[in-house]
A and B are shown apart, each in its own frame.
Chain A
Amino acid sequence: TQLLEQSPQFLSIQEGENLTVYCNSSSVFSSLQWYRQEPGEGPVLLVTVVTGGEVKKLKRLTFQFGDARKDSSLHITAAQPGDTGLYLCASRFTGTASKLTFGTGTRLQVTL
């Protein structure tokens, strides 16, 4: 069974703080996606990373893919209350071309 571990599970911070969320596996990813999910809604795709060592930026969000393609991180700069939500990493593992395996998520709360 291929598992994705996310840490931390919960994070409560104040507006303006920075944070990093991690996603790790013992297996190699063929690609990795980061999603954000709000209560009662489906996950919304933020980014896809494919190449080992890749870094992508989306406004205040920076996504990094590990060189060995077994880990990824999401860094948020100057968090805002609108960043509140459940952050999920999801991967297609090598040899499983179709389905996504999701991590358990990091629940982020940003307060004023």
Chain B
Amino acid sequence: DTGVSQNPRHKITKRGQNVTFRCDPISEHNRLYWYRQTLGQGPEFLTYFQNEAQLEKSRLLSDRFSAERPKGSFSTLEIQRTEQGDSAMYLCASSLGSSSEQYFGPGTRLTVT
């Protein structure tokens, strides 16, 4: 399968713990996006990379969130000191260029207890 992959698919953590998610985009795609989706809502943009450069961050991305794409391939999203409000589905998408279509991975479901 050559689609976008995300790991883990599910993560349960206690409040205050740190978590890290990984996204592997479609191999030739140079743009990678992170979104967050809460129950009953559409996905909301968090941040995106062109190659290894992080070009835009949403106001939703607090100081506890950090994303990297060190070699312009896979990306990681880390949440420090998790809060219950961080519980959501974290979605990764990739595209070839700025105006082309975005393809989504299956998401990582985070539950903070």
| Contact (A102, B43) CB under 8 Å given A42-B106, A44-B104 | yes
Partner of B44, one of A31, A40, A102: A102
* Minimal Cβ-Cβ distance residue in B for A45: B101
Verify A43–B91 contact, CB threshold 8 A: yes
Contacts of B107 in A (CB 8 A): 40-42
Interface size bracket, B side = 20 to 34
| B interface with A by C-beta (< 8 Å) | 4, 6, 31, 33, 35, 40-45, 48, 55-56, 58, 91, 93, 98-99, 101-107, 109
Verify B56–A102 contact, CB threshold 8 A: no
Interface string of A23-64 (1 = CB under 8 A from B): 000000011010100001111110010000000000000000
Verify A43–B104 contact, CB threshold 8 A: yes
